[in-house]
Amino acid sequence: MGKYHGKATTVVKPKTAEEVSKIVKHCCERRIGIVPQGGNTGMVGGSVPIGNELILNLGSMSKVRSFDPVSGILIADAGCILQSLMDYVAPHNHIMPLDLGGKGSCQIGGNVSTNAGGLRLLRYGSLHGSVLGLEVVLPDGTILDQLTTLRKDNTGYDLKQLFIGAEGTLGVITGVSLLTPPSPQASNNVILALPSFDNVLPLFKTVKQQLSEILSAFEFIDRTAYDLAVKHGQGRGLHDDEIKGAECFVLVETSGGRREHDEQKLNDLLETLLTSDEPLINTGVLSQNPAQFSSLWALREGITEAVSKEGKAYKYDISVPLSTFKDVVDITREHLRSKGLLHEKGVKHVIGFGHVGDGNLHLNVVADAYTLEIQNALEPFIYELVASHKGSVSAEHGIGAMKTHALHYSKSGVSIEWMKKLKQLFDPHGIMNPGKVLEMP
């Protein structure tokens, strides 16, 4: 993103949990701050030091420890790249329970530490459910071995949950045990062009009803986001005449047991959508082969890259009621216009896309540069808007360095107080990723 810059002088790349333990113990004794770092794809500056902390990069811990093809339980080093784990389990007819655009670089330890959501959450749920166990080096160097493979284990407090989404503030994750689902026998996708955002909600309802158990993703792309993705060569767009008058797009994926059955369901859905009295869509294009399937996904997954090519992005990853997605984008755009910033002082676009099925909107403001004037116009304006909808200021990217001051918009004073007590308990010297999630004391 080119937004966060650290001042670290030292990076260590340990190969085992024991080496991590020794490094952390050394740092604990000397009160040296540590920033655990995975693939460095996070969007809130969590993996970038604030001062001159030591960077502890997990990239050299990249071995699969075991895989059980019957249960689908995978145990891997935290530094394994998500895409390589996908490739590892594929020949066993399994998939990873999460998928996201950064899969070629992000690591499973980073995914767990940010509790990454992504494109499959609608179907397979969050990592709080898929992760069965963790191995963690605690801030004093002790190794907490909870690398269990049990599906059921109600033996008191479930400590591992604390590290899922802790963004490296409570310890370093060195190993992950997780449940991988069986590969679907057939996957299809279709891109739908909608005349109006008002159709998204009724569309979601109809799609859920008609596709039921085979629905695996329902992703939203507004017109500006779509145009940017096409402009910067991400995936294959629709023909110009097909998208005339389209205000937004929805990408639907199905994953099921029998190709003919699933295709029939998708075709029936398209027919319903196109032939009803007031059609919910202008057009729908079904992928016809694996290349087209990937190309449709590339269009959605490539928005982040397209945005980076277009300029500098102010990213707001928020949970708000589905019905307000368009309003939130429009209100932000009008707010910037009223401040004289839109198309005048560097702001180029305000776009919305994201995981409709999970109520997660990615609001991106694309500008020529990061400036204090734009930032001050956006914050706390957007956080107050989110709070007015009782939403979350971070749906899936975490708090990192970017949102520590905004935590209170989504968490009560009591919650923050107990978060601080937990941090103090695990990390009394405050060496573990200082200044992330919670403001420096």
Q: Could you say whether residue 357 binds ligand FAD (CB under 6 A)?
A: no
Distance of alpha carbon 127 from alpha carbon 44, whole angstroms: 19
Quick one: 103 or 160, whose CB is closer to ligand 2HG? 103
- Taking CB within 5 to 8 Å according to partner kind, which of ligand FAD, ligand 2HG, none is near residue 78? ligand FAD
Q: Tell me which residue has tokens 């503030």.
A: 169
Distance of alpha carbon 113 from alpha carbon 46, whole angstroms: 10
# of chain residues touching ligand FAD (CB under 6 A): 37
Question: Which residues, 384 to 403, sit near ligand FAD by CB under 6 A?
Answer: 396-397, 400
Neighbours of 426 (CB within 10 A): 18
Chain centre distance of CA 293:
21
Of residues 37, 66, 57, the one with CA closest to residue 178: 66
Question: Which residues, 325 to 354, sit near ligand 2HG by CB under 6 A?
Answer: 354
Q: Is the alpha carbon torsion for 338, 340, 343, 345 positive or negative?
A: negative
Q: Could you say whether residue 315 binds ligand 2HG (CB under 6 A)?
A: yes
- Taking CB within 5 to 8 Å according to partner kind, which of ligand FAD, ligand 2HG, none is near residue 315? ligand 2HG
Give the nearest distance from C-beta 77 to ligand FAD in angstroms: 9
Quick one: 305 or 330, whose CB is closer to ligand FAD? 305
The dihedral region occupied by 428, where left means phi > 0, alpha psi between -120 and 50, and beta the remainder, is: alpha
Q: Could you say whether residue 110 binds ligand FAD (CB under 6 A)?
A: yes
Of residues 431, 432, 407, the one with CA closest to residue 419: 407
Q: Is the alpha carbon torsion for 21, 26, 27, 28 positive or negative?
A: positive
Among 362, 403, 423, 436, binds ligand 2HG (CB under 6 A): 362
- Taking CB within 5 to 8 Å according to partner kind, which of ligand 2HG, ligand FAD, none is near residue 433? ligand FAD
Give the nearest distance from C-beta 256 to ligand FAD in angstroms: 23
Among 23, 27, 47, 217, binds ligand FAD (CB under 6 A): 47
Long-range contacts of 99-103 (CB under 8 A, 24+ apart): 100/301, 101/301, 101/302, 101/304, 101/305, 102/39, 102/41, 102/304
Q: What contacts 47, CB < 8 A, 6 or more positions away? A: 35, 36, 37, 38, 40, 110, 168
Give the nearest distance from C-beta 235 to ligand FAD in angstroms: 13
Residue spans of beta strands (DSSP E) within 6-53: 11-12, 34-37
Question: Which residues, 60 to 119, sit near ligand 2HG by CB under 6 A?
Answer: 101
Q: Could you say whether residue 114 binds ligand FAD (CB under 6 A)?
A: yes
Question: Which residues, 399 to 438, sit near ligand FAD by CB under 6 A?
Answer: 400, 433, 436
Q: Could you say whether residue 46 binds ligand FAD (CB under 6 A)?
A: yes
- Taking CB within 5 to 8 Å according to partner kind, which of ligand 2HG, ligand FAD, none is near residue 362? ligand 2HG
- Whether the Cβ atoms of residue 75 and residue 65 lie closer than 8 Å to each other: yes
**Element counts in the chain: helices (H) and strands (E):** 15, 15
Among 116, 266, 280, 286, binds ligand FAD (CB under 6 A): 116
How many CA atoms lie within 13 Å of 120's alpha carbon, on the beta-carbon side?
A: 17
**% helix, strand, coil for the chain, step of 5:** 40, 25, 40
Neighbours of 231 (CB within 10 A): 12
Among 33, 42, 97, 391, binds ligand FAD (CB under 6 A): 42
Q: Could you say whether residue 175 binds ligand FAD (CB under 6 A)?
A: no
- Taking CB within 5 to 8 Å according to partner kind, which of ligand 2HG, ligand FAD, none is near residue 173? ligand FAD
Quick one: 101 or 400, whose CB is closer to ligand 2HG? 101
Among 254, 304, 324, 392, binds ligand 2HG (CB under 6 A): 304
Q: Could you say whether residue 210 binds ligand FAD (CB under 6 A)?
A: no
Of residues 440, 425, 439, the one with CA closest to residue 171: 425
Give the strand pairing for 34-37 and 54-57: parallel
Q: What contacts 344, CB < 8 A, 6 or more positions away? A: none
- Taking CB within 5 to 8 Å according to partner kind, which of ligand FAD, ligand 2HG, none is near residue 114? ligand FAD
Q: 380: cis peptide before it, omega within 30°?
A: yes
Q: Could you say whether residue 223 binds ligand FAD (CB under 6 A)?
A: no
Quick one: 162 or 230, whose CB is closer to ligand 2HG? 230
Q: Could you say whether residue 234 binds ligand FAD (CB under 6 A)?
A: no
- For ligand FAD, which stretch binds (CB under 6 A), given 3-11, 89-97, 106-114, 408-416? 106-114
Residues that bind ligand FAD (CB under 6 A): 35-43, 46-47, 58, 78, 100-102, 106-107, 109-111, 113-114, 116-119, 167-168, 172-173, 304, 396-397, 400, 433, 436
Residues that bind ligand 2HG (CB under 6 A): 101, 303-304, 315, 317, 354, 362, 364
